[in-house]
Every structure is written in structure tokens, then in C-alpha cells.
Amino acid sequence: MTGLASDVIRAAGVVLTRGLGKDLEVAVIHRRRQGDWSLPKGKHEPGEHSIEVAVRETVEETGFTPVLDIPLPTQHYRVNGTPKTVEYWRAQATAGQFAENREVDHLRWLHPREAAALMTYPRDGELIRLAARTPPTIPFLLVRHTRAEKRVDWERRTGRDRSDPARGLLERGEWEARRLIPLLEAFGVRHLHSSDAERCLATLRPAAEAIGSGIRLEPTINEDHFSLDPEAGLARTVELFSQPWSTALCSHRPVIPAQLEALRAASGGPQFQHRIAPGSFFAFHRTWINAEAARRVRIIAATQRDLPPRHP
């Protein structure tokens, strides 16, 4: 083992659920070749994001389209001496129906306790138990706009002020915006909000078209407006965060650190390092169950996700 990323088998999967509370059930699969009871998962294809892998493998193995929820602990183990890393999410099954396939010959929907007991590998049972005892959540994604034309290049090319909100995306940024589509879809995002700057709007337009949603303008988080009145932008961010919808909000790199701190003050959650690459996003998984009265909403999990590198 050399320690290089290429020496690690990377995979992703889900604890697939349906129903809530006492009606909660978990999908368990029997893999034909391995002869074991397991959870839906599979290896990365070149250029795929872990989120895409989890969705694709779930559809291929179970026939159900998942909507991802909280991230679960990443598993690390060895397969024939090679280290393997599997990222997991809890997911809700939506449309679909199981059909026997090349990988899986049986699927059973079971109570979480029965599902955990059936698992061939105890680590899978632990994931099921954790998924079952964690309350349902609704995602809020805070997105940095994708790569935009540099201010100095925009000013030189157009003769317009470098702070002009009409400054748009580079070709690379347009590609990055398209790469965001399956990632936002994976979390079931249906409500899109954006700074009124063109570079933010252009970041969400492909996703808006894909999911059939409009984009609501949020002028208070425009970078220039925010520099003059940050309180208004932060208040609006917290207001959106407090609404129980699956939401994505596109913002600017200089604004996002203050937004993250405002959300942490309002609802708890981790402190991020603020290395914010173009197109990266912060996924907050929120619940209103057992939230403190002063906070109204509670963060169950929060992670930062970057786009995968461009694959030839």
C-alpha cells in the first residue's frame, strides 16, 4: 500500500428507507455473487461525485430512486488486502420498483431492527440503527457560484465597471453549473434562491430548468449590497434557513463565511474552514423535532462538498 488515492477503492451507498416513525422500513438486498445481505452501494466511475454514485447504485440495485438525507459514518475496510472507503447517506425511496438484476436477486423491506439483524456484516447493522434513530431532516444547501469571469477581464472586455452584477460565468463555470444538477436533485431540492448577480443566477439556471423551478432573487446577499448592509443579508439567510423546504441558496465567496457563522449562531452546527471552491456547497440537514425554543430549527448534520475534477 502506497497511500495514494488510486490505491483505495472508493464507493458510496445508502440506507434506503420508506415510511416514518413506527412505519419506517429499510430495504436490504441479497447480492447474487457474494451471497450476502447488504445495503445498496457501488464503486465510483471516473469523474463521478460520491453523491452521484450513491444515487446511481441505488437505482441499479433496487429500482428505487433515492432522495438523500443525512450523511452516515464512512466505512473503511479491506477487500482482498486493498483498502476500501464507502460513503453512506440515509435516503428516502421515491418512485420505483424492484426487479431482479445482475447484482441483486432479492430485496426485502423490513423493520429497522429486523433489517439490522439480517445484515451479514455488523457494520451495516450499525448504520441501519443510526439511520433509524435519527429524526427526519430537510436539506438546505448554501452554494458558491461557479467560475466567473475575473473582474479585471470583464472591465477590459466590456468597458463596464468591474462591480457590475451582469458579469457572468466562464465556460468552465457553465460546465460546473451543469455538474451541480444531479447533486441538487439528489437532495430533492425544489426551492432555488440566488443573489441577483448574474454569476449566481447562471449557476442555478441549469438546475432550475432540470427540476422545473423558478429562481427567487435575493438582492440583500448580492456581494456589493452585502458589503453595505450585512445585517440585512444575514437576516434573510437565517429566515430562508428557518423555512421547512428543500432549498438551495447561491451566494458569493466573500459573503459565505458570514452566512455560515450566522447559521451556526442561529441553529448550532460545525465551524467550517471556509476554503470555498467555485461550485462547492454546504449541505445542512435540519430538523424541527426537539429544537430549542430560541432556535426553532436544529442542525443534525452539515458537510461541505466540492465538485469533482473535470474528467477528460
Of 133, 155, 176, which residue sits at a domain end?
133
Residues 175 and 289 in one domain: yes
Residues 127 and 111 in one domain: yes
- With respect to residue 299, please indicate whether it lies within any of the assigned structural domains: yes
Residues 287 and 157 in one domain: yes
- With respect to residue 61, please indicate whether it lies within any of the assigned structural domains: yes
Residue for grid cell 437565517: 238
Residues 280 and 185 in one domain: yes
Can you give the length of the chain in residues?
A: 312
Residues 142 and 290 in one domain: yes
- With respect to residue 50, please indicate whether it lies within any of the assigned structural domains: yes
- With respect to residue 91, please indicate whether it lies within any of the assigned structural domains: yes
Of 95, 112, 133, which residue sits at a domain end?
133
pLDDT-derived band at 1, boundaries 50, 70, 90: very low
User: pLDDT digits over 71-96, tens only?
Assistant: 999 999 888 888 999 999 999 999 89
pLDDT for 257 beyond 80: yes
Of 113, 133, 153, which residue sits at a domain end?
133
Give the span between the Cα atoms of 89 and 207, in whole angstroms: 22
- With respect to residue 189, please indicate whether it lies within any of the assigned structural domains: yes
Residues 154 and 292 in one domain: yes
The per-residue b/e assignment along 104-135, b for 16 or more CB within 10 angstroms, e otherwise, is: beebebbebeebbebbeeeebbebbbbbbebe
Per-residue model confidence (pLDDT) at position 2: 35
- Going by C-alpha positions, the residue among 183, 163, 207, 191 that lies closest to residue 51 is 183
Residues 261 and 151 in one domain: yes
Find the CATH number of the domain harbouring 228.
Answer: 3.40.50.1240
Find the CATH number of the domain harbouring 72.
Answer: 3.90.79.10
The three-class DSSP label of residue 190 is coil
Percent of the chain whose pLDDT exceeds 90? 75
Yes or no: say if 181 and 289 are a contact pair by the CB < 8 Å rule.
no
Residues 252 and 116 in one domain: no
- With respect to residue 310, please indicate whether it lies within any of the assigned structural domains: no
User: pLDDT digits over 152-203, tens only?
Assistant: 666 677 666 656 677 788 999 999 999 999 999 999 999 999 999 999 999 9
Per-residue model confidence (pLDDT) at position 274: 66
Residues 146 and 248 in one domain: yes
- The residue range of the domain holding 40 is 5-133
Residues 114 and 246 in one domain: no
pLDDT-derived band at 312, boundaries 50, 70, 90: low
pLDDT-derived band at 4, boundaries 50, 70, 90: very low
pLDDT for 6 beyond 90: no
- Cα dist from 2 to 7, 8, 9, 170, whole Å: 7, 10, 13, 37
User: pLDDT digits over 116-157, tens only?
Assistant: 999 999 999 999 999 999 999 999 999 999 998 876 666 677
- With respect to residue 311, please indicate whether it lies within any of the assigned structural domains: no
Residues 126 and 162 in one domain: no
pLDDT-derived band at 3, boundaries 50, 70, 90: very low
Give the span between the Cα atoms of 144 and 278, in whole angstroms: 6
Residues 175 and 101 in one domain: no
What domain count does the chain have? 2
User: pLDDT digits over 283-296, tens only?
Assistant: 999 998 876 655 67
